[in-house]
Amino acid sequence: MNPAPIAPVMPAAIFALTLALLLLAPLAIAGVALINTGLGRSRSAAQSLLGNLAIVAVTAIVFAVAGAAWAGTTGLVDHSFQLAGKPWNWLGAGRLMLGGFGSAPPQTQLALLFEFLAVALAALVPWGSGADRWRLSAGCASAAVLAAIVFPLMAHWVWGGGWLAQLGVNFGLGAGFVDGGGAATVHMLGGLSALAVVWIAGSRKGKFPKEGFSTALPGHNAAYVLFGCLLALVGWLAWNVAGAVIWLHAPLAALPATAVNTLLSASGSLAATFTVTRVRFGKPDASLCANGWLAGLVASSACAGLITPGQALFVGLVTGIATPLLVEVLELALSIDDPSGAISVHAVGGLLGLLAVGIFVSQEGQLVAQLVGIATLLGVILPLVYLLFRLLNRVVPFRVDPDGERIGMDLHELGGGAYPDFVIHRDESYR
C-alpha cells in the first residue's frame, strides 16, 4: 500500500467556485433522466422516472459505503504492484463508509463529491437503454454493482492517481490518460454498460419481427426529451468547468473557454445531426437531434478544457454526423434495441472526445495514452460489466415477464400509470 502523489493545494476562492458548480451539476442528471423517460413509452413513464431517482439513491449509498474507498482520490493511499520496474497503481485503499471524509483536504472532498455525481450519471445511462422491459429491482441492483465495483476501478485508474493517470510519468506518454469531465469514467462506462444490458435483457417485444424491417417504437414525449437537453446543458457547463478545476488543475483564466467549448461542441453536434436527419428523412428528427446535442456534450466532457473553440466545434460536427448514422446502424443492421440511443450517444460520443484530446493536444505520446485508456474500456470494462450483469441476471432477472411488458411497466411494477387519464391502447404486436 502506497501514499499517492499529493494534488496541488486549492485556494479558497476556487474551492468555493468549484463547490457552487458541483451543486449545479445534478442538472445534467435531471436532464438525462428526462431524456430517458421521454424516449420510452407512455405506459412505462412513471417506472422510468422512479428508476432514475432510485438509481441515484442506490449509487450514492453504495458508493459511500464501499465504492469511494476503492476509487480513492489523489493524495490518499492505494494498492500498487511492480511490473517491469514500474509501479502499477490499480486500486484505492481508503476507508469504508467515507471514513476520514470530514477531515480530508478540501480538494479531496470536492473530488469525492464529483465522483458521487459521476457514478450516479454513469449508472443512469444504461437505464434508458433498458426502457420498457428492464425491471426496477434489476436496474437498482445493476447500479449497485456499477457503484461498488466497476466505477471505482475506472475512477481510480483515471482520477485517483491510478496507472492510466500515471502513463505520462511511467512511460512518457504525454500527461497520461486525460479525462477532465468523465467522458471515459462516466459516459463510455455507462454506454458500454448499456450495451451489456441490451444484450442481456433483449429487445422489446415486437421490435424486430420475423419478417421485414424493425418496428419503430418512438419515444412518447419529445417535450421531455428536448427540455432534458436544455437542463443537461446547464449541468454539463458546470460539470466540465468543475472537472477542469479538479482533475486538470486548470487556472481561473481557462474556465470561460472550457464553458464556451462545451457549448460549441453541443451546438456543432446539433447542427450536424439536424442537417443529416433533414437530408436523410426530409425533415429534422427531434429525438435524433436530442441525441446529437447530448453526444456533443458527452464529447466535450473529454476535451473542453484542453482544446480551442474551433477544435471544439469540429469535434461537435464530427460527433453530430456520427450519432444519427450509428443509431440507425445499431438498430437496423445490428439488431440492437437501444430506446435512448445511449450506446451511440455516450459510448461513441465519449470515444470521439477522448480521441480528440489525443489528436489536438500537442504533447508527445498523448494520442497513445488516450488509445490505451480506450483499450482499457473495451478490453476490461465491457467484458467485466457483461460478466457481472450476466451473473446478476441469474439472481435478479433483468427482463420483465411477458405480461408485464404487455400492460406496461407502470401498471406491472407500480400499480398505476404516469398519465392515469390516458387510455392505454393494446399493442398491435400482441395480436
| 83 lies in the site for another protein, by CB under 8 A | yes
| 279 lies in the site for another protein, by CB under 8 A | no
| 169 lies in the site for another protein, by CB under 8 A | no
Burial class (CB in 10 A: 0-12, 13-18, 19+), 15: middle
According to CB under 8 A, which residues from 208 to 237 bind another protein? 208-210
235, 49 Cβ separation under 8 angstroms: no
192 CB contacts (<8 Å, ≥6 apart)? 343, 347, 377, 378, 381, 382, 385
For residue 215, the Cα-to-chain-centroid distance in whole angstroms is 27
- Tell me which of 286, 368, 407, 424 binds another protein, using CB under 8 A: 368
Tell me the number of residues near another protein by CB under 8 A: 32
Count of residues in the chain: 431
| 249 lies in the site for another protein, by CB under 8 A | no
- The residue range among 82-90, 96-104, 129-137, 290-298 that interacts with another protein, by the rule CB under 8 A, is 82-90
Record the cell numbers describing residue 118, joined without a space: 459521476
| 382 lies in the site for another protein, by CB under 8 A | yes
297 CB contacts (<8 Å, ≥6 apart)? 232, 233, 236, 262, 265, 266, 269, 349
The amino acid at 70: W
- Tell me which of 230, 310, 379, 396 binds another protein, using CB under 8 A: 379
| 90 lies in the site for another protein, by CB under 8 A | no
For the chain, first and last CA: distance in Å? 62
| 205 lies in the site for another protein, by CB under 8 A | yes
Nearer to another protein, 308 or 335 (CB): 335
- Tell me which of 335, 391, 396, 422 binds another protein, using CB under 8 A: 335
Binding mask 34-73 for another protein (x = CB under 8 A): ----------------------------------------
- Tell me which of 7, 30, 169, 378 binds another protein, using CB under 8 A: 378
Q: What is the 3-state secondary structure (H, E, C) of 100-159?
A: CCCCCCHHHHHHHHHHHHHHHHHHHHHHHHCCCCECHHHHHHHHHHHHHHHHHHHHHHHH
| 82 lies in the site for another protein, by CB under 8 A | no
Query: How many Cβ atoms from other residues are within 10 Å of residue 209's Cβ?
Result: 10
Q: Write down the least CB distance from residue 43 to another protein, Å.
A: 20
Contact residues: another protein, CB under 8 A: 83-84, 86, 167, 171, 199, 202-203, 205-206, 208-210, 334-336, 364-365, 367-368, 371-372, 374-376, 378-380, 382-383, 386-387
